[in-house]
Amino acid sequence: MEVRTPNPAADNSSTPQQHHQRHASAAAASKQPATSTVPVDTTSVSQRLQKELMSLMMSGGDLGVSAFPESESIFTWIGTINGGKGTMYEGLSYKLSLHFPLDYPFKPPQVKFETMCFHPNIDQFGNICLDILQDKWSSAYDCRTILLSIQSLLGEPNPESPLNSYAAALWNNKEDYQKMVHKQYFAGEAFES
């Protein structure tokens, strides 16, 4: 069995609209047949994910992050992130979906927010703009690293590279921003998968 994946070139000189279009086209490309000719050993990937699961179970909850396989498949997980202390997300808990590719850890998992999250780097569909999930991915990263990075992103967004331009514009008005965070969170709207 072979997995083929596209390798879009990273370009950090784009406008926010081009940035959003690139993310949208990358999402569309991820639904296309893959293009790499690397043979896949699903046994080693499964073993790696089992080790990551054990590591998370041993230490993750203490850090405000956790994740477990969603069903029988070790390749689909549901994660939880608690908002960091001292951030506008403190006291809130967010659910995420993680879909690990067959060539993990050489390719990053697809991670999306399932709980509505008002944030400059998260769009209305739960997509996340985070470099380690795209062009800065390393096979040294694991699920715990991903969850902690997303947790950190909640408190330290990058408004210069927004997926949600309204959240980015509101970021400097802390009181109104926090009202929007809570309004969307407590509305209880989940993203459509």
**Angle, helices 143-155/42-59, rounded to nearest 10 degrees:** 50
- The confidence score (pLDDT) of residue 183 equals 94
Instruction: Cite the beta strand spans of 65-145 per DSSP E.
Output: 65-69, 76-82, 93-99, 110-113
Residue 37 falls inside a structural domain: no
Give the lowest-confidence range in 7-11, 92-96, 116-120, 143-147. 7-11
Residue 148 falls inside a structural domain: yes
- The confidence score (pLDDT) of residue 133 equals 96
Q: What CA–CA distance (Å, rounded) separates 89 from 186?
A: 12
Average pLDDT over every residue of 129-147: 95
Residue 24 falls inside a structural domain: no
Q: What CA–CA distance (Å, rounded) separates 30 from 61?
A: 31
Dihedral angle computed from the Cα positions of residues 17, 18, 24 and 26, in that order, rounded to the nearest 10 degrees: -160
Does the annotation count 129 as an active-site position?
yes
From the list 134, 130, 178, the residue with the least C-alpha distance to 152 is: 130
CATH (domain of 70)? 3.10.110.10
108 CB-near residues (< 8 Å, 6+ apart): 101, 132, 133, 134, 137, 141, 146
Higher pLDDT, 60 or 18: 60
Could you read off the pLDDT of 36-95 as tens digits, one per residue? 455 567 899 999 999 999 999 888 567 899 999 998 899 999 999 999 999 999 999 999
Average pLDDT over every residue of 131-145: 95
Average pLDDT over every residue of 26-36: 45
Residue 107 falls inside a structural domain: yes
Per the residue annotation, which of 67, 88, 102, 129 is the catalytic one?
129
* Residue ranges making up the domain that contains 112: 43-192
Q: What are phi and psi of 58, to 5 degrees?
A: -80, -35
Number of domains in the chain: 1
Could you read off the pLDDT of 153-187 as tens digits, one per residue? 999 999 998 999 999 999 999 999 999 999 999 98
Average pLDDT over every residue of 9-17: 42
DSSP-based helix, strand, coil % in the chain, nearest 5: 35, 20, 45
Q: Give yes or no for residue 30 having a pLDDT over 50.
A: no
- The confidence score (pLDDT) of residue 39 equals 59
Locate 81 and state its tokens: 């992130």
- The confidence score (pLDDT) of residue 82 equals 96
97 CB-near residues (< 8 Å, 6+ apart): 70, 76, 77, 78, 79, 110, 111, 112, 114, 126, 193
Mark 134-149 as b/e (b = at least 16 C-beta within 10 Å): eeebeeebbbbebbbb
